[in-house]
Amino acid sequence: MRKKITSVALAIIFSLSMAGVSLAAKCKGKVKSIGDKEIVITVDGKCKLKDGEKVTIKSKKKAVEGC
């Protein structure tokens, strides 16, 4: 009985955590300027971001060629 309750609880926790990740917005844009502690980005297309909203930026990794 405890194993069933534990497995159901873990399944609920996992599904709720994945729902939060799926709500993240995906917007594309270009960097316009970089200051001391500020980056200005122009957003392409429709994106529901507001001024001063915190965002996470993932940069593209460049491939390194070997010998």
Would you say residue 60 lies in a domain? no
Query: Is the pLDDT score of 19 beyond 60?
Result: no
Q: How many domains does the chain have?
A: 1
Q: The whole model's pTM is what? A: 0.41
Would you say residue 18 lies in a domain? no
Would you say residue 11 lies in a domain? no
Domain of residue 40: give its range: 25-52
Torsion of CA 37, 31, 25, 58, to 10 degrees: -70
Would you say residue 43 lies in a domain? yes
pLDDT tens-digit map of 26-54: 777 888 888 888 888 888 877 777 777 77
- R_g (Cα) of the chain, nearest Å: 20
Would you say residue 39 lies in a domain? yes
Would you say residue 36 lies in a domain? yes
